Amino acid sequence: LYPCISSLLPDNVSFKSRIKIQIRMTDIDILNHVNNGVIASYFDLGRLNYLKTVSGKIDLAKLDLVIVHTEFDYFASIRFTDNIAVDTTVLEFGNKTVKMAQRIVDVNTGKCFCSCISVLCDFDREKDCAIPIDENFKMNVLKFERDR
């Protein structure tokens, strides 16, 4: 009904994870819609929910995936009364990266408010550099994407 027609998202993308978002009064800006910076934090919640679902318990002190690139397409304003969720999936793996697709939708109508592409890399904190994506993580993601 309201597709996320975006150059960011492939036509055949299938979202495997959803988290409902509670819009807070402090999320609303002077124009009476959710501020774009807050929308970025909604996508963070979606990514963390996905990672937690795929990997089990997440220890933020040991989470070594860092965002190296994000892109957003905005389609409609999110209002305080909207009932929204963030859908998330993994599109592909590189050697040291994982590319994720996300969208914010109205849970009742399917209306798409915004889409997002993020590229994350696995990171070695001691050496301060990117490292290859952990194979166990990759296998868990592939199993999750296949089984859902």
CA 51 → CA 35, 37, 48, 81, 82, distances in Å?
Answer: 25, 22, 5, 28, 25
Cβ neighbors of 99 (< 8 A, separation 6 or more) are: 90, 91, 92, 93, 117, 118, 119
3-state secondary structure 33-62: CECHHHHHHHHHHHHHHHHHHHHCCCCCCC
Among 63, 71, 43, which residue's Cα sits nearest to residue 123? 63
Q: CA–CA separation, 67 vs 120, rounded Å?
A: 4
Match 């909207």 to its residue by tokens.
82
Q: Quick one: how far is CA 30 from the chain centroid?
A: 26
pTM of the model: 0.89
What are the pLDDT tens digits along the chain (148 aa)? 455 666 677 777 889 899 999 999 999 999 999 999 999 999 999 999 999 888 876 665 666 889 999 999 999 999 999 999 999 999 999 999 999 999 999 999 999 999 999 999 998 888 999 999 888 888 889 999 887 6
Q: CA–CA separation, 6 vs 106, rounded Å?
A: 17
